[in-house]
Amino acid sequence: MRLAIEIDGSIHDEPDQKIYDVERDNLLMEEGLKVIRIRNESVLLHFDDVQDLIIKVIKKENWKSSSFSIRSNFIPDVLPLP
């Protein structure tokens, strides 16, 4: 299992940084990693939800056979899954 968890601050809202992040995510996925991007604020304010998201991704049945990238801004009751 290879999982990259990126904790993103406000710099990732900048247009150039968004382009870089997509390119980097694609590169990581080409290398066989799954990518989750989570906002700093989500980790600080909704840690339990972030932890639940990571656990759900790891337990996902087709985890080994699929490439994906998740970007989460965290609405506490919504856990985006691939």
| Structure confidence by residue, pLDDT tens digits, 6-64 | 888 888 888 998 899 889 988 988 888 888 888 888 888 888 888 888 888 888 755 55
Check: CB of residue 68 under 8 Å from CB of residue 35. Answer: yes
Confidence label for 70 from pLDDT (cuts 50, 70 and 90): low
Per-residue pLDDT, 20: 92
What pTM was estimated for this model as a whole?
A: 0.70
Per-residue pLDDT, 82: 43
47 HSE (CA, 13 A, CB side):
1
The pair of structure tokens assigned to 14 is: 């900048």
70 forms beta bridges with 36
